[in-house]
């Protein structure tokens, strides 16, 4: 097995794309490394890739399936993941490939019908994550949750958190850990903690690997006409409903309404269908300022334009301090 990307992408990209297309798989944008296995006559017959600890774009030429190529490819990819310091390896796959991954030690986390299976091979994995969550259980008769990217944390986010805090005894606030946003995960987490520090019943957590970012969700094996946003939302909802909510006793999840983002509106609708009231989904009207919805994207646009005074009424003082000084609160 040899690495195709980044070292040899110019020479091998055409063969890689041709193999993916031949096996009905789409290429992905977010890849750290791509590997391939060649036949004796120099043809690319197997390929796999990873983004951090997520395996993607796994394809074996149909004329060479059923032998040892899959195990050879996966062993190499997993060695690469663990050599980079990760303690877990994740894969999203179709139903007909699930057993092949199970034979290599992968365990199911959740699935969406027979369209998508999410599996992990980990030193500790989901049971350890849930045990750690249960250690952060806070007693209350009304326990709610919010999941946000907060890129960066705005007064719109703050309004949503305040509402949940007023209406519940305990609020667990999860901040996406993924580092593909403009503001790194550690910065977003710090700004959320600072911006909610006065709310005693709000408990802030990083999401880790089990609440999935759209940026890392691989759609390479889904049909071209599949609604990727809906499928991702359904998977997120099932992980949350089946694993995370029971660990913390969560009975409600709050989300903001999405007048500007059709994709997020689809996401919210899919959450509502999957939850089916357990937990309840509470959709909160978005806050406005100056006649427009307060959004992180609006803040980022103003930041790019250097219009700090226009940003001031849109964010908490702690976020504004960071944006103007670069110093975390």
Q: Give the β-pairing of 288-289 and 292-293.
A: antiparallel
CATH architecture of 138-325: 3-Layer(aba) Sandwich (3.40)
Please tell me the distance from the alpha carbon of residue 210 to that of residue 247, in angstroms, as a whole number: 13
CB-based contacts of 94, cutoff 8 Å, min separation 6:
114, 115, 116, 117, 221
Q: How many CB atoms within 10 Å of residue 313?
A: 11
- Residues in contact with 268: Cβ distance below 8 Å, sequence separation at least 6, in sequence order: 233, 255, 257, 258, 281, 283
* Alpha-carbon 12 to chain mean position: 29
CA distances from 248 to 133, 136, 190, 310 (A): 7, 7, 22, 39
Domains 2-123 and 138-325 share a fold: no
Question: How far apart are the C-alpha atoms of 256 and 205, rounded to whole Å?
Answer: 19
Q: What string of pLDDT tens digits covers the 329 residues of the chain? A: 777 766 555 667 888 999 999 988 888 878 889 999 999 998 999 999 998 899 999 999 999 887 889 999 999 999 999 999 999 999 988 888 899 999 999 999 999 988 889 999 998 899 999 999 999 999 999 999 999 999 999 999 999 999 999 999 999 999 998 777 789 989 999 999 999 999 999 999 998 888 876 555 666 556 655 577 888 889 999 999 999 999 999 999 999 997 777 878 888 999 999 999 999 999 999 999 988 999 999 999 999 999 999 999 999 999 999 999 988 87
Identify the CATH class of 2-123: alpha beta
Domain coordinates of the chain in residue numbers? 2-123, 138-325
């Amino acid at each position: 097995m040899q690495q195709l990307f980044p070292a040899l992408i110019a020479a091998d990209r055409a063969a890689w794309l041709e193999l993916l297309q031949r096996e009905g798989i789409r290429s992905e944008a977010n890849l750290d490394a791509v590997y391939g296995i060649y036949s004796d006559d120099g043809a690319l017959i197997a390929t796999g890739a990873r983004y951090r600890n997520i395996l993607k774009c796994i394809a074996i030429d149909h004329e060479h399936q059923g032998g040892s190529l899959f195990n050879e490819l996966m062993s190499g990819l997993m060695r690469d993941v663990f050599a980079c310091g990760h303690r877990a390896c994740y894969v999203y796959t179709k139903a007909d490939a699930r057993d092949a991954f199970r034979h290599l030690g992968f365990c199911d986390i959740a699935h969406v019908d027979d369209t998508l299976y999410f599996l992990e091979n980990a030193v500790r994995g989901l049971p350890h994550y849930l045990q750690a969550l249960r250690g952060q259980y806070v007693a209350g008769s009304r326990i709610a949750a919010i999941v946000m990217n907060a890129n960066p944390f705005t007064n719109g986010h703050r309004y949503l958190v305040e509402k949940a805090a007023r209406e519940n005894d305990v609020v667990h606030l999860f901040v996406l850990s993924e580092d593909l946003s403009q503001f790194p995960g550690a910065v977003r987490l710090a700004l959320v903690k600072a911006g909610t520090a006065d709310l005693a019943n709000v408990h802030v957590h990083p999401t880790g690997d089990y609440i999935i970012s759209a940026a890392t969700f691989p759609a390479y094996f889904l049909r071209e006409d599949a609604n990727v946003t809906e499928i991702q939302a359904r998977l997120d909802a099932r992980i949350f409903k089946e694993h995370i909510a029971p660990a913390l006793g969560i009975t409600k999840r709050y989300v903001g309404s999405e007048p500007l983002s059709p994709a997020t509106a689809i996401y919210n609708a899919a959450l509502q269908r999957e939850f089916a009231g357990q937990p309840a989904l509470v959709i909160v009207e978005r806050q406005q300022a100056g006649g427009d919805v307060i959004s992180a994207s609006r803040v980022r646009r103003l930041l790019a334009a250097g219009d700090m005074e226009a940003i001031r009424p849109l964010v908490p003082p702690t976020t504004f301090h960071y944006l103007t000084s670069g110093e975390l609160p």
